[in-house]
Amino acid sequence: MKKEKTKNTDGSMSLSGHLRELRNRLLAVLAVFVVGVVVCFSFASPIVELLTGLGQQFGYQFVYIRPQELLMVYFSISLLGAFVLSLPVTAYEIFSFCSPGLRKIERSLMLLGMTFGTVFFVVGVLFAYFITVPFMLRFLIAFSTDVSVTASISIQEYMSFLLMVFTIFGVIFELPVLSVILTALGVVKPSWLVKARRAMIVVIFFVAAIITPPDIISQIMVAIPIIALYEFSILLSRGVYKTKKDKAEE
């Protein structure tokens, strides 16, 4: 049987070759994800203990109200854990597939975004776990001190709440990485970020008021780190813009 050509006469890969490569890379990512699900499911119970312990220290009690609810929580944690574990492999496969068609600066930005994007996302999740979520839980449980109501929370609702907060802060902490990439691509200038500072501070406090309980302490505790991230983004943008301008003048 004649072997199908995967490269053209000029050395570039044919469409069938690209599709075959894409299939192989997707299968590699899927295999790692499936293994991750199996591994994470075996550790789902200690993870649930860790996350529920965060609420129990403030007086929350957790129950499941459907027979399959706890099992579904274990599966949700397994899927999320497998997604996180497969991120490095996914990033590598995406970078390897796309890099031949990118310029040097684009490859560098893509690698920068994938590497530091992951780091800053994890930092955002840790910030939410150690600072934001405890403030929220402490404030919300305070409403039950004056009434004879026990805070027995559905475990699935609690995990959904944590996942929402972790995701929000993980995305928010991507701001510095995003500013560097957009500045390097010429989409954003540091002067624009400076001019938008006052408006952004208002937006940041508005967002903080939405995602936190309605007390000023929690809102400030959320808003201040985001404002600090915005100022840090301006500094990074200035550095990238100056470097880009110096290279253009050479």
> Which amino acid would we find at residue 190?
P
Same domain, 181 and 90: no
pLDDT of residue 2: 46
Residue 216 lies in domain: 174-243
Could you say which of 141, 167, 193 is where a domain stops?
167
Same domain, 183 and 135: no
Alpha helices in the chain (DSSP H): 15-42, 44-56, 69-98, 104-127, 133-141, 155-172, 175-184, 190-195, 197-211, 216-249
pLDDT of residue 213: 63
Task: Report how many domains make up the chain.
Answer: 2
pLDDT of residue 1: 44
pLDDT of residue 26: 92
Could you say which of 167, 191, 219 is where a domain stops?
167
| Tokens 């200035």, located at residue | 238
Residue 61 within any structural domain of the chain: yes
The answer to whether the CB of 30 falls within 8 A of the CB of 82 is: no
Residue 1 within any structural domain of the chain: no
pLDDT < 50: residue spans in the chain: 1-3, 10
pLDDT of residue 31: 95
Tell which residue, 133, 115, 124, has the closest CA to residue 228: 124
> Burial level of 184, CB count in 10 A (0-12/13-18/19+)?
buried
Same domain, 186 and 148: no
Same domain, 80 and 161: yes
